[in-house]
Structure 1
Amino acid sequence: MTSHRIGSLANETLHFTFDGTRYDGRPGDTIASALLANGVRVVGRSFKYHRPRGIMGYSVEEPNALVDVTLNGVTTPNLRATTEALVDGMVVRAVNASPTAAGDRKGFLDRFAALLPAGFYYKTFIWPDWHRFEPSIRAMAGLGRLDPTNEPPAQNPQIAAHCDVLVIGGGPAGLHAATQAASEGRSVMLVDDQQTIGGSLLFRHAEIDGKQGGEWASAVAAELTAQGHRVLANTTAYGVYDHNLVALWQRRLGQPDAQWRVRARRIVLAAGAIERPLLFPDNDRPGIMLADAALSYLAQHKVLVGRRIVLATNNGRAYPVAEALRAAGADVTIADLRQQAHDGAIAGARIEAVHGSNGVEAVTVSGQRLAADCLLMSGGLTPSVHLYCQAGGKLAYDETIAAFVPREDLPGMRVVGAASGHYSLAEILGGDGPIHPYAIAPAWPEAGVQGRQWVDFQNDVTVKDIALAERENFRAVEHLKRYTTLGMATDQGKTSNMNGLATMAALTGRTIPQTGTTTYRPPFVPVPFGVVAGRRRGEFFNPVRRLVLENEHREAGATFREYGGWLRPAWFGGANGAANIRREAIAARTAVAILDGSPLGKIEVIGPDAGALVDYNSYNTLSTLKPGRIRYGFMLTESGVIYDDGVTTKIADDHYVVSCSSGHVAGVVARLEEWRQDRFDPARVFVHNSTPQWATLTASGPRARKLVSSLSLGVDLDDAVLPHMAFADGQFDGAMARVSRVSFTGDRSYEIAVPSSKAANLLAAMREAGKELDAVLMGSEALLLLRAEKGYLIAGKDTDGTTMPHDLGITGPMNKRQNEYVGRRSLFTDNAQRADRQQLVGLTVEGQTMLPVGTHGVETVNNTRRSIGFVTSSYESPTLNRPIALGLIERGMERKGEMIDLVHLGQVFRAEITDPCAFDPEGARLNA
């Protein structure tokens, strides 16, 4: 290929290297256009045989030109040279080639192609052992090379937008649809994946409204922008999801790429069409290109891809390409496969051979050898229906254009222009027809042709590979795809799928519609992980939630840790954690401790069906509560496993407050909302997460009542009026205060909830009142210790992904409830009723050694040791002055009093299985 740049030199020159050789480019170049301008023929190697490959396409359809790009010392692998903008100082290397694409050491593999047909890896490496071959095969797999230092900075913005009409594609059909929608007063967003809006108008001659096509496109885009509509170039719509959600990837030079998530009332798909290659022997040589790609490089980059060009075609769209190339100085011979040809074309032509190992040197056309440095292919157009199919659309085969087209418009999506099989401006905008009508004659593969005909260029799939799949009965298109890897390369079959389907149809005697198509899935193009992830890294990925009282806790000497996604005090008093945790726990048992429990969920369920909704989502019946009362219970997954535990407060028959674990608030809200919409009348019940609106401070311990009574809350604290598991509303600092008798320590406790704005005043008042009562501030670590003394579990710590309520000994609802609730049926499966299930128990260790969490209980049978469970929680109890532990042990409830062995990292322990509650099993201290 003797390609070169035509026209005057640009004022600015961009310098880059490819495979170690320095080249120059121009602003506006892609890597591909710059390589072509410099006459580079071989830009890569095919995946399996390492055959030399040249640039074939212009945009996302390119199967060959994948490169690794190093810029500013950071290497990004597997970029498509046809879509990657050239930047000064780029270091570009071909993938799957060493040391260079032109001089690849593994090029010899092509000599063994006969031994490496489709599916050879399934058959060849079985004996004697696959694992002997695996390291070498894995070393050869893959394309580009990862740069371990390439850690994207997670600065890609995620932008949410909505519009009345989203137009995908900025060609004539898309621009026409956008102007129509705008004239109707609709908000419009138009996106196109090219650097400039215009589509085919940028490289094919057209005149619209008295303007050249490109000029008209620019004017329409500018007018839409002036009217307040969004017009985004360099933006690819890569996925259509439920409810007209479209994901866009916007490439922004000099800035991090962005991902847009767009909700549109209506989508207009004007994604155009992709030109198909023709199939003939050795159709993969460097210098063989798509005709539209050659025209695009000429029109947009002033690159003439050859001087002596053969243009093979089966349709009328190739003739304007020949005219433009001739006008630029090329000698072009048209080889028209159709019997009716004109403009001096060779009629009824067949490409019989391509000569030249590393590039086109000559072409044999119907027995005539023609000198050539470039062979262009125009095998017809395949509509870009990927997004339509992602949205659930079905395709129909149109014989007149030899392609699949959308069968019908979808609710909320209309397909226009070339994507719908309408290829001429006359069809799109009205007016006169083209000088050269499309008039395609199908040119599908012929069985028995000598030589290799390449269908999937990147993955080295030939017509013979498809024939082998047919002989071995992999005839279904999805089987064909996986057996041969047809369409599974990084281009996802954009140039190969249609020819592959036609080949299988010919081999099986079926029609192309009978053969069918593969499934189209997102993304339409490879999208960088950083774009999809956006800024979700570190605190952007999992933002730490902060207490409204964080500053007050810091001033009081708190050491902070993360619990359930919240930054909370672990203990107070300095760096000696163990001593301070012990001090706080002792004070909570002997005097009173003050705890900030604000992160606990406060989810309001309101409406006539509120009771039914909370009942359906709970293992325990909650609607039978009296107003003013509180009940503890579980939420289960649909598989019957404990998801969360907590208390529910009944304010009134139509008003409940669900309190869940701090880390499960979002999940419980989503779960309640899901079932609200799925099972109930959404107009009769509402879910509102009020957790951020309220701060909760707890006083726990024998002196808790004295402390709370001194706060003048206007609540009668007499046990007859406010018993355990009840609440009363009062006042604090001119605002509502709710006082609840709930305990997670096993001692008398009062939770006081006030508006978050009053939290600092409440904490100050409690600390002042607590001075005479030896009150302490208590962190989460002491609380966790105290609850373990009582055998109170933490969901997800003392339960695992199999634990059900009856594994904790709580069987009442399962045995008595007759109505439906989430997870109910799963509680009665054979697996749920197994006698050897792991159950929650206490563990009293011999001696004074604390059991490490995760220690396995073991038993030995026939000299074989096996696990019977594990330790879930373990503490040194200052109250009992000995270690305590909780664990999930096989058949634990019936083994109480039994001694078992436990093993951790080679260390052996002995422990007695006991009740989970090690302290105050009668519960007398709740009212002490």
Structure 2
Amino acid sequence: MTGYRLPHGGARIDRSDTVAFTVDGRQHFGLAGDTLASALLANGVRVMGRSFKYHRPRGLMAFGVDEPSALFTVTTDGVREPNVRATEIEIFDGLAVESQNRWPSLDTDLMAVNQLGGKALAAGFYYKTFMGPVIGPLKGTRFWMVCERFIRRAAGLGRPGTAPDQSRYERMNAFCDVLVVGGGMAGLHKAVEQAEAGKRVIVCEIEPHWGGGADAKNESEIRRMVDLLQSHPQVTLLPRTTVWGFYDGNTLAATERVTDHLRTAPEGAARQRTWTIRAGHVALATGALERPIVFAGNDRPGVMLADAARRYAAAFGVLPGRHLTVFTNNDSAYATALALREAGANIRAIVDLRAEIGDAARALADRAGGRLLTGYAVIGTKGARGLTSVSVARYRHDTQSFSGSAEQIETDALLVSGGWSPVVHLASQAGAKPVWDDDLQAFLPPESRGPWSAHGAAAGDLDFGAGLSPSPAPVFEIRHPGKAFVDFQHDVTADDVRLAHREGFRSVEHLKRYTTLGMATDQGKTSNVPGLAIMADALGKPIPEVGTTRFRPPYTAASLGSIAAERFGDLFPHRLTPMHDWHAQNGARMYAAGHWDRPESYNRPGETVEQAYFREARTVRTGVGLVDVSTLGKIDIQGPDAGEFLNRVYTNGFAKLAVGKARYGLMLREDGFAMDDGTTWRLAEDRFLMTTTTANAGRVMSHLELCLDVHWPELRVHVTSVTDQWAGAAIAGPRSRDVLAACVTGTAVDNDALPFMGIVHGAISGVPVMICRLSFSGEMAFEVYCGAHHGTHVWEALLEAGKPFAIAPYGLEALGTLRIEKGHVTGAEIDGRTTARDLHLDWMLSSKKPFVGSAMMDREGLTDDARWTLVGVVSRSGEKLKGGSHVVAGDRDDPGPSLGHLTAMAFSPEMNAYVGLALVEGGANRIGQHLFATDPVRTGTHIPIEIVSHHMVDPKGERMHG
């Protein structure tokens, strides 16, 4: 046993309360207040993980969020949460965790044979080893295709589960004048200052306790400040809360661990809560992280960051070993050595890379005891599954070499301090470029500016005690034979960084991706600066010229459960139409369409989806069908200049549209490409109702607001989204007018009263409705709108009135079939790359007025006859087409270049064939050509097709105009 519990000390633990927990099914005991890390350390457990690539045994290295190796899977009621740091797991009776990335066990991992791979497993080995063709029995097959499944099985660390998570999660929105990130001394002082100035303050602290890494001598001051803040009416304190994202507009994301530390959560309590915080000002008091030094064997269990050892002793009364050695390049480790000596540790030696140290550091060394070896370096470590000794030798800075013979020091814990890195992650996310500080040999946030500021250690204000300097020696690596690790989580060595340099990966971003340095849960917390220093040395440049990676959210892992919160049960949150319950109760097969749940089809017993939509589409073509169109975007446009406004945003004219009439309109983006289409109804001289496609409702609304706020603020117009205020149903088919005549009161619905694109107001079953005659299906059709709360009532009334005409509801699949047959476009064709001419909508481009996009739509590239244009396709073999298939001219063995792709497909009951729409190069000139729809990756199909007009059914529009 090495680590052990001290008989005294431990500010966070309750020695009267013993807690039982299991690791890999084996029971251990800790004390209330322990983390999994401190409890295992107290139990003498040295190996807490296996490294990613080499499966080397790894022990505890850090105290908090910077721990790279001691990762476990928490198993709760069959739910698995992988890659949780032992330092962040608060133990409770019944806690069960599993170690990761080992087989069959943590102590005996057969995958450790990977250590024999040597240079074969160096950086980028998977790019170089498994990509070449192999001769022999695998001739013609890429070796990767054979090895991929084995590699993927070995990759990764923790294994997620498949059981549904029954925990409850919450979301919160909060607003404050000042958000303080970090509850250490600097953060608490800032919070008190702002609270006393009358500001609304939120303080987030990642740990359960306040004060950060402050010494015990500050305990009374910490308690005073926390008491003051807790009693202040405008202050919210959030312990166990990690701020992990800094976004535009001073919006920050944080996750609060509400009941993770409890065996049983109170009824109704959330497990975690995601906070979206909008702050007037953000005070970053995120502290600084101690860095390791890169040397051979620096990953052996028992090698730990020096300040982490101090904090385990102070917080939990635990030491990492009986006989401790300190290895440092800066003064902070001397205060740490003395603190550990006073806690009861035996300090064997302090090894300092610097030949000369200050009087204050030397005085602390004398009090800490042990040998003081200045001008020495640790060049290696020994021990099977844990440290037993270290090798030290005299170090020459000028030549980075050693003199004299190496000396062995028996020790079971080596505490390393390679300097400190202020936590700049959130500042970087806010857009700040970190600035190199030569004195601290670290990157700092730039000077506080605008909506955020940095404070305390996060700003480089490091205070280790009277007379102790915060400046480390600029030595990040001790070059000596043996594996010297830079990134402990991904097994990235110093040699890997140099190999990346030799192979041409000189940019820090390329270095990161080629070697995986600083990826996954580590995010460069311990590895970033040492890795950059080694790359800078290889380039012969100073570190600031090499630069640093820009950090992005999340700062540390955030659970998907907390982000989704109450929105669960499907991949995306969905909106429901007013008639949703009716659909669900009447056999609808629901389908996620963007943010909406919509009926895909109404399957009768024994019907497949295809059989159902064939039937539904045929019903519309021959009789009458009813479809829910409540999801269409609806925007109320009012004001004296409303007509002029629409004239400017649509390509065709709207200013002279008569009241009681609707018109089909097309919008372009400013660059001349199509943006959206829909119909707009004139309800009064100064009022219009615009409808948009479901997918583009939000985009169009934003576009209109931009036009009014920025381009034409002089126009007297107001726009309001009313999508949720109206329920909509489209009744379509040759008998649709008969159904309306049977149930509409207060207005006639014959051709004189309600011609094509006409609007009438009446009632259905006592509910006021607005009806417009327009068609997306190609048949005679009418859209019926009513207040959303009356949607189901009107829907049922229409179905009741339609019974004599065999009316049937139809879903998205049938709707898609009808529009494909007719050649009507949707977002599949208006995809941001097509123009009005590409879609045969150039008849809508007015030559009498300017409009958004008119100045750019006639550019040479947008009028080229060879552009992809809309066509119809018909399967000549009867095979089912696949949306997204490429259109080619050649056969399967030599298909030739892609001429375009299928945007949509369906089986057409009208044509008794599989048909589709496609965007094809020079499409207008290819009508009648026989080509192929090929999909070699997904289905391996190569289907003969004929190019036809996109108007495959009723090209003259006689049905919908009749």
- Asked if these proteins are the same fold (TM beyond 0.5), I'd say yes
Instruction: Supply the RMSD in Å over aligned alpha carbons.
Output: 4.6
Q: Distance in 1 between matches of 2:681 and 2:873?
A: 30
User: Residue type of the partner of 2:389?
Assistant: A
Q: Distance in 1 between matches of 2:414 and 2:879?
A: 78
Residues 109, 169 of structure 1: alpha-carbon distance in 2 compared, 3 angstrom cutoff: same
The number of residue pairs the alignment matches comes to 903
Q: Distance in 1 between matches of 2:502 and 2:613?
A: 73
Q: Distance in 2 between matches of 1:161 and 1:228?
A: 12
- Partner of 1:268, secondary structure, is strand
Residues 89, 590 of structure 1: alpha-carbon distance in 2 compared, 3 angstrom cutoff: closer
Give the aligned partner of residue 537 of structure 1: 568
1:503: Cα distance to partner? 3.4
1:710: Cα distance to partner? 8.0
Give the aligned partner of residue 322 of structure 2: 307
1:702: Cα distance to partner? 7.0
Are positions 1:205 and 2:205 aligned together?
no
Are positions 1:495 and 2:530 aligned together?
no
1:412: Cα distance to partner? 0.8
Preserved CA contact (<8 Å) 2:195 2:234: no
Residues 313, 685 of structure 1: alpha-carbon distance in 2 compared, 3 angstrom cutoff: farther
Q: Distance in 1 between matches of 2:175 and 2:321?
A: 46
Preserved CA contact (<8 Å) 1:805 1:811: yes
Instruction: Say which of 830, 840, 852 aligns to 1:809.
Output: 840
User: Residue type of the partner of 1:331?
Assistant: N
Give the aligned partner of residue 171 of structure 1: 184
- Partner of 2:841, secondary structure, is coil
Residues 270, 743 of structure 1: alpha-carbon distance in 2 compared, 3 angstrom cutoff: same
Instruction: Say which of 281, 284, 295 aligns to 1:269.
Output: 284
> Could you report, residue by residue, the CA deviation over 1:876-911 in whole angstroms, capped at 9, with x for unpaired residues?
34xx9x779664485665566788999999999998
1:258: Cα distance to partner? 2.4
> Could you report, residue by residue, the CA deviation over 1:270-311 in whole angstroms, capped at 9, with x for unpaired residues?
001111223444333221211211111111111122222122
Give the aligned partner of residue 247 of structure 2: 241
Preserved CA contact (<8 Å) 1:559 1:575: no
> Could you report, residue by residue, the CA deviation over 1:8-65 in whole angstroms, capped at 9, with x for unpaired residues?
7834433334456542222222221111101122222333343332211111111222
Instruction: Say which of 332, 356, 360 aligns to 2:382.
Output: 356
- Partner of 1:602, secondary structure, is strand
Residues 389, 817 of structure 1: alpha-carbon distance in 2 compared, 3 angstrom cutoff: farther
Q: Runs of 5+ in structure 2 lacking a partner? A: 9-13, 135-141, 367-371, 395-405
Q: Distance in 1 between matches of 2:309 and 2:107?
A: 22
Instruction: Say which of 39, 51, 54 aligns to 1:46.
Output: 51
Q: Distance in 2 between matches of 1:576 and 1:611?
A: 48
Residues 859, 235 of structure 1: alpha-carbon distance in 2 compared, 3 angstrom cutoff: same
Give the aligned partner of residue 374 of structure 1: 413
Give the aligned partner of residue 630 of structure 1: 662
Are positions 1:83 and 2:118 aligned together?
no
Preserved CA contact (<8 Å) 1:246 1:263: yes
Residues 135, 896 of structure 1: alpha-carbon distance in 2 compared, 3 angstrom cutoff: closer
Instruction: Say which of 806, 816, 821 aligns to 2:852.
Output: 821
Are positions 1:727 and 2:722 aligned together?
no
TM-score using structure 2 length: 0.81
The share of aligned pairs that are identical, in percent, is: 33
Give the aligned partner of residue 659 of structure 1: 691
Preserved CA contact (<8 Å) 1:444 1:499: no
Preserved CA contact (<8 Å) 1:163 1:263: yes
Q: Distance in 1 between matches of 2:743 and 2:810?
A: 24
User: Residue type of the partner of 1:251?
Assistant: R
Q: Distance in 2 between matches of 1:78 and 1:864?
A: 48
User: Residue type of the partner of 1:5?
Assistant: R
Instruction: Say which of 28, 31, 36 aligns to 1:31.
Output: 36
Instruction: Say which of 128, 131, 142 aligns to 2:155.
Output: 142
Preserved CA contact (<8 Å) 1:490 1:526: yes
- Partner of 2:15, secondary structure, is coil
Instruction: Say which of 407, 417, 434 aligns to 2:465.
Output: 434
1:260: Cα distance to partner? 1.6
User: Residue type of the partner of 2:6?
Assistant: I
> Could you report, residue by residue, the CA deviation over 1:580-616 in whole angstroms, capped at 9, with x for unpaired residues?
9999989978987776654443211334664565455
Residues 27, 909 of structure 1: alpha-carbon distance in 2 compared, 3 angstrom cutoff: same
1:166: Cα distance to partner? 0.9
Instruction: Say which of 328, 336, 342 aligns to 1:321.
Output: 336
Residues 15, 152 of structure 1: alpha-carbon distance in 2 compared, 3 angstrom cutoff: same
> Could you report, residue by residue, the CA deviation over 1:64-89 in whole angstroms, capped at 9, with x for unpaired residues?
22233434344333222222223444
Are positions 1:219 and 2:246 aligned together?
no
Give the aligned partner of residue 183 of structure 1: 196
Q: Distance in 1 between matches of 2:511 and 2:932?
A: 56
1:386: Cα distance to partner? 0.9
User: Residue type of the partner of 1:488?
Assistant: M
Preserved CA contact (<8 Å) 1:309 1:373: yes
Q: Distance in 2 between matches of 1:851 and 1:455?
A: 54
Preserved CA contact (<8 Å) 2:379 2:480: no
Are positions 1:923 and 2:958 aligned together?
yes
Preserved CA contact (<8 Å) 2:390 2:409: yes
Preserved CA contact (<8 Å) 2:327 2:378: no
Residues 495, 107 of structure 1: alpha-carbon distance in 2 compared, 3 angstrom cutoff: same
Q: Which is further off, 745-754 or 860-869? A: 860-869
Residues 841, 448 of structure 1: alpha-carbon distance in 2 compared, 3 angstrom cutoff: closer
> Could you report, residue by residue, the CA deviation over 1:134-167 in whole angstroms, capped at 9, with x for unpaired residues?
4487257534242443444584323222222111
Give the aligned partner of residue 429 of structure 1: none
> Could you report, residue by residue, the CA deviation over 1:656-711 in whole angstroms, capped at 9, with x for unpaired residues?
32123455544543554455556453985443221332344566677766776787
Preserved CA contact (<8 Å) 1:788 1:886: no
TM-score using structure 1 length: 0.83
Preserved CA contact (<8 Å) 1:455 1:496: yes
User: Residue type of the partner of 1:517?
Assistant: T
Q: Runs of 5+ in structure 1 lacking a partner? A: 425-432
Give the aligned partner of residue 5 of structure 1: 5
User: Residue type of the partner of 1:311?
Assistant: V
Residues 383, 625 of structure 1: alpha-carbon distance in 2 compared, 3 angstrom cutoff: same
Q: Distance in 2 between matches of 1:863 and 1:117?
A: 39
Instruction: Say which of 419, 423, 430 aligns to 1:391.
Output: 430
User: Residue type of the partner of 1:76?
Assistant: E
Give the aligned partner of residue 810 of structure 2: 780
User: Residue type of the partner of 2:958?
Assistant: G
Give the aligned partner of residue 427 of structure 1: none
Preserved CA contact (<8 Å) 1:785 1:875: no
Residues 171, 916 of structure 1: alpha-carbon distance in 2 compared, 3 angstrom cutoff: same
1:423: Cα distance to partner? 2.5
Residues 104, 609 of structure 1: alpha-carbon distance in 2 compared, 3 angstrom cutoff: farther
Preserved CA contact (<8 Å) 1:708 1:766: yes
- Partner of 1:42, secondary structure, is coil
Q: Distance in 2 between matches of 1:441 and 1:69?
A: 38
User: Residue type of the partner of 2:53?
Assistant: K
- Where in structure 2 are the equivalents of 1:658-677 lying within 5 Å? 658-662=690-694, 664-673=696-705
User: Residue type of the partner of 1:690?
Assistant: V
1:415: Cα distance to partner? 0.7
Residues 231, 713 of structure 1: alpha-carbon distance in 2 compared, 3 angstrom cutoff: same
Q: Distance in 2 between matches of 1:744 and 1:720?
A: 21
Give the aligned partner of residue 170 of structure 2: 157
Q: Distance in 1 between matches of 2:581 and 2:230?
A: 51
> Could you report, residue by residue, the CA deviation over 1:777-835 in whole angstroms, capped at 9, with x for unpaired residues?
44235984995598262525788786654355332245847735359846756477344
User: Residue type of the partner of 1:231?
Assistant: L
Give the aligned partner of residue 131 of structure 1: 143
Are positions 1:14 and 2:11 aligned together?
no
User: Residue type of the partner of 2:951?
Assistant: P
Preserved CA contact (<8 Å) 1:728 1:739: yes
> Could you report, residue by residue, the CA deviation over 1:608-654 in whole angstroms, capped at 9, with x for unpaired residues?
66456545554444345344432113345778776654211234565
- Where in structure 2 are the equivalents of 1:457-536 lying within 5 Å? 457-470=488-501, 474-488=505-519, 490-536=521-567
> Could you report, residue by residue, the CA deviation over 1:381-406 in whole angstroms, capped at 9, with x for unpaired residues?
21111101110113333333332222
- Partner of 2:88, secondary structure, is coil
Residues 581, 812 of structure 1: alpha-carbon distance in 2 compared, 3 angstrom cutoff: closer
Preserved CA contact (<8 Å) 2:645 2:715: no
